[in-house]
A and B are shown apart, each in its own frame.
Chain A
Amino acid sequence: MLAFLLTLMLLLGIVIVLAYAERKVAAFMQDRLGPTEAGPYGSLQSVLDVLKLLQKEDIVPTAADKKLFKLAPILIFAAVFAGFAVIPFTPDLIPAGIGIGVFYLLAIISLDVVGLLMAGWGSNNKYAMLGAMRSVAQIVSYEIPAGLAILSVVMICQSLDFQEISYQQGILLNRFPGLEFETNWLFGIEALGINTTNIGGITTWNIFRAPLLLVAFVIYFIASLAESNRAPFDIPEAESELVAGFHVEYSGFRFAVLFLAEYSMMVLVSLVAVILFLGSWNTPLPNLTTLKFANWTTGTVGELSGILWGGFWLLSKTFVLLFLQLQIRWTYPRLRVDQLMHLCWKVLTPIALGIVLLAGIWRLLMV
């Protein structure tokens, strides 16, 4: 219960910062100033936006399917929020440390799709329906390259547990029960003879332990943009064609929930990318001979310093990825639907399949 509340508070905080950052990044990229009035540099803008949304009238269209219309935002947010249950925030802080976390995450996100269909249908609006259809088609297809990219990580790490994958990517490797006698080698290859178990830092991140995971990371990142309906994959809510996509009929608090779910999805996919590829809560700084940067910036597990450093690294890496998502939105034009499917099925999926095969071979080199 405590984990539930803490995660919810953390998520609300991140989403509010993200909504503000979205406006500011957009503004600076277009040589504008963005919000400036509310608070210093407009920093209270998104808080006030939320307050405004909460005060608005709750409109349910007469012709809408009322039960589905009301249920849909709850289902969408619940599905996304359930994904946070398996995310390890620090070395010893994870809401639910189940052994098949990665698999669970992939499955629970597909619940989101049902919620989207519910919202689109319940609104009884052709724009909403088209938006939901496009969104679902996109999410379902891009789950495949994303899933394959994640699968290659799982093959390298030999685990479906997020916390175990996190421990493998840093100097705390031998602290995880069951991994006491494991060693990390540079690029995962023992023949090179460089033991990185105590060097840690960036040299033990998954993209370094098995450099081909860098390709998998790029595939996952592109697919995750599509899964969270971000530009350049935002045809589900293309303003010029569909007004606003599946949430066109929603207002007030219900819209706030949908908005929150959408931004939570962005945060969730970035968190997963960080955990699987970019070293999770491990520090990027390696130990260099006498300069023990990694030890200094990891803290002690189980104490406050470990929690603070772990949370700091995880969240700052996540924010870097989120910033990248915002930047991409204002850089690339929207893809047409045929280009979208071409990219998914004819480019990303074959490459991802090849990566899975290579990851298996790499794993053989690692043992």
Chain B
Amino acid sequence: MLFYIFAALAVISGAYMVLTRNLLYAGFSLLLTLLSVAAIYVLLFADFVAVTQLMVYVGGVLVLILFGIMLSSRVHDKSVMSENVNVGWGISISLLTLIGLGYTIWQASFSSLPWIQQANTDILAGQKSTVQYIGIKLMTDFVLPFEIASLLLLIALMGAAYIATDKQKV
């Protein structure tokens, strides 16, 4: 029941975000979408992922987006409206993606997969959260991807700092 409430919220706010012309409203409805997706993560026993989602997307990305919109819009005392371009191409590509995804999901037929049927609803099994397990996995089985991701972030950070510095013309 809870799942349907949050799923509906996510879909409605996501649709609003796409359909509204006002960029700022789109930003704020993205907040609602992210919150409801976080709630769905909690329902799936992924508390760490849910909170990370809040931390990274709401605390970081969304604030950055809003800042960008607020600082760049209202150039002539009017809120920035988004415009419709490439209608034909947009519709056809999104339809094709939908068909492709739908076909894949249909072919996979989740309910007959063996590991889903054997899955236990008591995933946490006495543990209070998934953090310990995630930490151990990150430091053993997935240490290389983890480190590469951190390297990537470092490169992005240095690139951003380089772009932002004043280049003095000597």
CB distance from A346 to the nearest CB of B (A): 14
Q: Is B62 among interface residues, defined by CB-CB distance under 8 A?
A: yes
Least CB separation from B42: chain A residue: A98
The listed residue (A99, A107, A136) touching B128 by CB distance below 8 A is A99
CB distance from A63 to the nearest CB of B (A): 10
**Which residues on B sit within 8 Å (CB–CB) of A111?**
54, 58-59
Q: Indicate if the CB atoms of B63 and A113 lie closer than 8 Å.
A: yes
Number of B residues with CB within 8 Å of any CB on chain A:
21
The listed residue (A107, A121, A140) touching B24 by CB distance below 8 A is A121
Which residues, 97 to 148 on A, are CB-close (under 8 Å) to B? Answer: 98-100, 103-104, 106-108, 110-111, 113-114, 117-118, 121, 129, 133, 136, 140, 143
**Which residues on A sit within 8 Å (CB–CB) of B127?**
99
Interface of B is mostly: helix
Which residues, 29 to 70 on B, are CB-close (under 8 Å) to A? Answer: 31, 47-48, 51-52, 54-55, 58-60, 62-63, 66-67, 70
Interface of A is mostly: helix
Q: Is B28 among interface residues, defined by CB-CB distance under 8 A?
A: yes
Q: Is B97 among interface residues, defined by CB-CB distance under 8 A?
A: no
The listed residue (B28, B55, B66) touching A107 by CB distance below 8 A is B55
**Which residues on B sit within 8 Å (CB–CB) of A104?**
51
The listed residue (B28, B55, B59) touching A118 by CB distance below 8 A is B28
The listed residue (A68, A99, A106, A108) touching B129 by CB distance below 8 A is A99
Q: Indicate if the CB atoms of B131 and A99 lie closer than 8 Å.
A: yes
**Which residues on B sit within 8 Å (CB–CB) of A68?**
24, 28
Q: Please report the C-alpha to C-alpha distance between residue A60 and residue B60 in the assembled complex, in whole angstroms.
A: 30
The listed residue (A98, A103, A114, A161) touching B66 by CB distance below 8 A is A114
Q: Indicate if the CB atoms of A108 and B54 lie closer than 8 Å.
A: yes
Q: Please report the C-alpha to C-alpha distance between residue A241 and residue B34 in the assembled complex, in whole angstroms.
A: 36
Q: Indicate if the CB atoms of B24 and A113 lie closer than 8 Å.
A: no
The listed residue (B51, B60, B63) touching A117 by CB distance below 8 A is B63
The listed residue (A106, A129, A140, A160) touching B63 by CB distance below 8 A is A140
Also in contact, A136 and B63, with CB within 8 A (given A100-B48, A161-B128)? yes
The listed residue (B48, B70, B128) touching A103 by CB distance below 8 A is B48
Indicate with 1 or 0, residue by residue over A152-169, a CB within 8 angstroms of chain B CB atoms: 000000001100000000
Number of A residues with CB within 8 Å of any CB on chain B:
23
**Which residues on B sit within 8 Å (CB–CB) of A114?**
28, 31, 58, 62-63, 66
Q: Indicate if the CB atoms of B129 and A110 lie closer than 8 Å.
A: no
Q: Indicate if the CB atoms of B63 and A98 lie closer than 8 Å.
A: no
Also in contact, A110 and B59, with CB within 8 A (given A68-B28, A118-B28, A136-B67)? yes
**Which residues on A sit within 8 Å (CB–CB) of B47?**
98-100
**Which residues on B sit within 8 Å (CB–CB) of A100?**
47-48, 51, 129, 131
Q: Indicate if the CB atoms of A103 and B51 lie closer than 8 Å.
A: yes
CB distance from B72 to the nearest CB of A (A): 13
**Which residues on B sit within 8 Å (CB–CB) of A161?**
128-129
Least CB separation from B66: chain A residue: A117
Indicate with 1 or 0, residue by residue over A89-100, a CB within 8 angstroms of chain B CB atoms: 000000000111
Q: Indicate if the CB atoms of A110 and B55 lie closer than 8 Å.
A: yes
| 30 chain-A/chain-B pairs, Cβ below 8 angstroms | A68-B24, A98-B128, A98-B129, A99-B128, A99-B129, A99-B131, A103-B52, A103-B55, A104-B51, A106-B55, A107-B52, A107-B54, A107-B58, A110-B54, A110-B55, A110-B58, A110-B59, A110-B63, A111-B54, A111-B58, A111-B59, A114-B62, A117-B66, A117-B67, A118-B28, A121-B70, A133-B70, A136-B67, A140-B63, A143-B59
Q: For the A-B complex with A107-B55, A107-B58, A136-B67 known, give 10 more contacts whose Cβ atoms are closer than 8 Å.
A: A98-B129, A103-B48, A107-B59, A108-B54, A110-B54, A110-B55, A110-B58, A111-B54, A117-B66, A160-B129
Q: Give the top 10 A-B pairs by smallest Cβ distance, nearest first.
A: A110-B59, A99-B129, A99-B128, A107-B54, A107-B55, A107-B51, A100-B129, A103-B51, A117-B66, A104-B51
